[in-house]
């Protein structure tokens, strides 16, 4: 245990080595409890997290761009159809 006393706290979360209920949380040589060490191992590194975030952001941007393109095409198609109808009416070719 290398110099750690029972009343010492974890440097990361503040948990005491001995909680009083009989449970102990062994500390490493840096004064970090076992629970914090396990949690730190399961968390992704900043590089992994940032890569994942950037990939998700790129996918969202791509989906938004495609939706905007679809919306513009639909608007152009509606405008074109209305224009064709107006031309037919003006020229007297109202077949409908």
Q: For residue 23, what pLDDT band results from cuts at 50, 70 and 90?
A: low
DSSP 29: T
Whole-number percent of the chain with pLDDT over 70: 70
DSSP 9: B
Tell me if 6 sits within 8 A of 17, measured CB to CB.
Answer: yes
Q: Which domain holds residue 77?
A: 45-95
Report pTM.
Answer: 0.45
pLDDT at 35: 76
- Do 15 and 30 share a domain, yes or no? yes
Structural domain count, the chain: 2
- Do 91 and 72 share a domain, yes or no? yes
> Cα–Cα distance between 52 and 17 in angstroms, integer?
36
């Amino acid at each position: 245990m290398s110099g750690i006393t029972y009343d010492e706290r974890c440097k990361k979360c503040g948990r005491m080595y001995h909680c009083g209920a009989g449970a102990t949380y062994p500390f490493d040589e840096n004064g970090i409890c076992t629970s914090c060490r396990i949690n730190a191992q399961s968390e992704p590194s900043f590089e992994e997290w940032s890569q994942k975030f950037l990939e998700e952001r790129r996918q969202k941007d791509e989906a938004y761009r495609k939706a905007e393109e679809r919306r513009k095409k639909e608007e152009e198609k509606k405008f074109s159809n209305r224009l064709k109808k107006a031309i037919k009416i003006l020229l007297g070719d109202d077949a409908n």
